[in-house]
Amino acid sequence: MNIFHFLIILLIGFPLIEIALLIEVGGSLGVFPTIALVVLTAVVGAMLVRAQGFATLRRARRSMDAGELPAIEMIESVFLLLAGALLLAPGFVTDALGFLCLIPPLRQALIMRLIRSGRLNSHPRTASEPIEGEYRHHDDETTPPALEDANPLEQPRRDRDDIHRPFSKK
């Protein structure tokens, strides 16, 4: 299955499943309890994402203070962002997926699986790998005399007659 088919299924099939589930739950609970449940999951989800986001930020700061790259914490923050978006979207399937992203052991296991599969590379380039590019020495070039005396912060002064006024008569 290519990416086009996946996007078609995602953009058409997923909302249809959400609508069908909302209709079923609304039919058994009623309209207002269903709306209240959707709003409640969004509010609780936002509070959980906020708390876990701050915890991830604290772990990232500890890693940086220790001189380590907080790669896992950065990937976790992407999952938390995804969880927040899923929880704010109305629907029960998106809420379930969002709450699954908020379970730390499940989230960390998924991140480790992505890293092991090679889809995510948590190791930065080593310093021994060459970086190709072109360069030139600016010391060899002479600065034009007009630029040596110019102050880049000074603007040339304009006279009132130099300003073009579209509706003025001259």
Per residue of the chain (170 residues), give pLDDT as tens. 788 888 888 889 888 999 999 999 999 999 999 999 999 999 999 999 999 999 999 999 999 999 888 888 999 999 999 999 999 988 999 999 999 999 999 999 998 898 888 776 655 556 666 767 777 766 655 655 555 555 656 655 555 555 555 555 55
- Name the nearest CA neighbour of 90 among 25, 7, 6, 8: 25
Domain that holds residue 61: 14-117
So what's the pLDDT on residue 103? 93
87 within a domain of the structure (yes/no): yes
9 within a domain of the structure (yes/no): no
So what's the pLDDT on residue 115? 83
125 within a domain of the structure (yes/no): no
Q: Cβ contacts of residue 94 below 8 Å, gap of 6+?
A: 18, 86, 87
So what's the pLDDT on residue 47? 95
The token pair that represents 148 in the structure block: 């040596």
pTM: 0.65
- Tokens 């930065």 found at: 124
**Number of domains into which the chain is organized:** 1
23 within a domain of the structure (yes/no): yes
